[in-house]
Structure 1
Amino acid sequence: MTTIEEIRDNFELLEEWDDRYRYVIELGRTLEPMPEAEHSLENKVNGCVSQVWLSKKLDRSGTDAVLKYRGDSDAHIVRGLIAILLTLYSGRTPQDILSHDAIALFDQFGFREHLTPQRSNGLRSMVERIRSDARAALATAS
């Protein structure tokens, strides 16, 4: 599995945004397939121009509960953005999720200048959905 550090390193190697977009699309192709049943209204992320679904599972099998995600979109570039988000957040504790600022990371990668306002809003909606899940998981744990 790709780490966020590997993604950062690869972004630094690719100077042209056309190459970076191709890389993001390639990352999207690595997403675990999402079962059709998970393409549900409950998993749909509002605020995205594209169709976007994020399904979550709270895994309590380890010492700390972690949130595990699957994601999908009908847009190739958005699937890539989901892949980066899941690399950052899936399999992490709710505390870890809330302590990492995905929007700042995407800004470091240069996405603020290279995503349309609609895509940026969709990205924020996905991040907020995951952060909201983390807050809810913490609330039920206490």
Structure 2
Amino acid sequence: MNTRVNDENQPSGDEVQAEIASEFALFGDWTERYAYVIDLGRSLQNFPEQYRTEEYRFHGCQATVWFRSELGEDGRLYFDGTSDSTIVAGLMALVFRLYSGRTPQDILQIEPYFIDEIGLKAHLSTQRATGLLGMLQSIKQQAQAQVA
């Protein structure tokens, strides 16, 4: 699972989204931005083989996606996963960066506006946009289940 974070050191959802927007602003065009997303996706390729099973398969994406969450002893939800598509894995890395290591209550309050802010939504295929929306919904549902 992802590294646990200390609450005092964890940036807010707005700070994470501002960081992501700043990173994407460094690139001149979408070819460079896609290359960055692919690089982010490579960081998730070490997802353990033991979780690359149907139990952890996320349906709703054209690509094959494995996704899991864990409620830590600290009461925070941690997410990890990967995809056979490095672009999809890169999208997952961005989403995990925003939500992983937060309390369920925090997750429910954070809206992922960075997707529109950096122009990502407009540059995704319909299938990838649908898959990204499904992953975001799943994260929110898992947080809601912990609150209930």
Shorter-chain TM-score bucket reads: 0.7 to 0.9
1:35-87 deviations in whole A, cap 9, x for unaligned? 11211223211111001111111002x3xx10011110000100100000000
**Residues 1:80 and 2:90 aligned together:** yes
TM-score between the two structures when normalised by the length of structure 1? 0.87
- Aligned position for 2:106: 96
**Residues 1:39 and 2:55 aligned together:** no
3-state SS in 1 of match to 2:54? coil
TM-score between the two structures when normalised by the length of structure 2? 0.84
- Aligned position for 1:131: 140
Q: Residue 127 of structure 2 is aligned with which of 103, 118, 126?
A: 118
Q: What amino acid is aligned across from residue 65 of structure 2 in structure 1? A: V
**RMSD of equivalent CA atoms:** 1.6
Q: Cα–Cα, structure 1 residues 29 and 4, in superposed 2: closer, same or farther, change >3 Å?
A: farther
CA distance in 1, matches of 2:122, 2:77: 30
User: Which structure 2 residue ranges, 5 or more long, are not aligned?
Assistant: 4-15
Query: 1:51-70 counterparts in 2 under 5 A?
Result: 51-60=64-73, 62=74, 65-70=75-80
- Aligned position for 1:105: 114
